[in-house]
């Protein structure tokens, strides 16, 4: 079963916590033990797992990734968003998660983040939940 979720971002660069959204998809699937793949079908967005306790972590994350890949740097891509394309590939388009007793297996401080690099936009996230 392939689940398609809608995610709306509100900023140009943003890490949006989608843990509850993914957990709901897992719960709705009825799978209690298995694997969950989260896939972002975009070229200027990504998905990652990181700390969800202190909001300054994602604040620092976005601050630093904007330094690593500056928005303007003499890029050639005509659309003008090469930085977003680069950041997406750096962070990656998918995550694999484990499911046990109907819950995502995450560390105490871990959350799943949708990473927007060229927002705000309406985005999609695909979730595949497999028993096993």
From the list 54, 56, 79, 131, which residue makes contact with Zn ion (rule: CB under 5 A)?
79
Nearest approach in angstroms of CB 77 to Zn ion is: 5
Instruction: Give the residue closest to Zn ion by C-beta.
Output: 79
Interaction between residue 81 and Zn ion (CB under 5 A): yes
Interaction between residue 19 and Zn ion (CB under 5 A): no
Considering only CA atoms, which of 50, 40, 29 is closest in space to residue 103?
29
Interaction between residue 27 and Zn ion (CB under 5 A): no
Residues binding Zn ion (CB under 5 A): 79, 81
């Amino acid at each position: 079963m392939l689940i398609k979720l809608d995610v709306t971002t509100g900023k140009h660069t943003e890490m949006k916590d989608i843990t509850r959204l993914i957990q709901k998809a897992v719960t709705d699937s009825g799978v209690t033990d298995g694997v969950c793949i989260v896939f972002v079908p975009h070229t200027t967005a990504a998905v990652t797992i990181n700390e969800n306790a202190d909001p300054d972590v994602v604040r620092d994350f976005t601050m630093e990734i904007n330094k690593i890949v500056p928005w303007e740097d003499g890029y050639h891509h005509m659309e003008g968003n090469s930085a977003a394309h680069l950041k997406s590939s750096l962070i990656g388009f998918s995550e694999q998660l484990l499911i046990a007793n109907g819950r995502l297996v995450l560390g105490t401080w871990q959350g799943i983040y949708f990473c927007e690099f060229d927002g705000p936009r309406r985005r999609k996230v695909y979730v595949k939940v497999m028993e096993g």
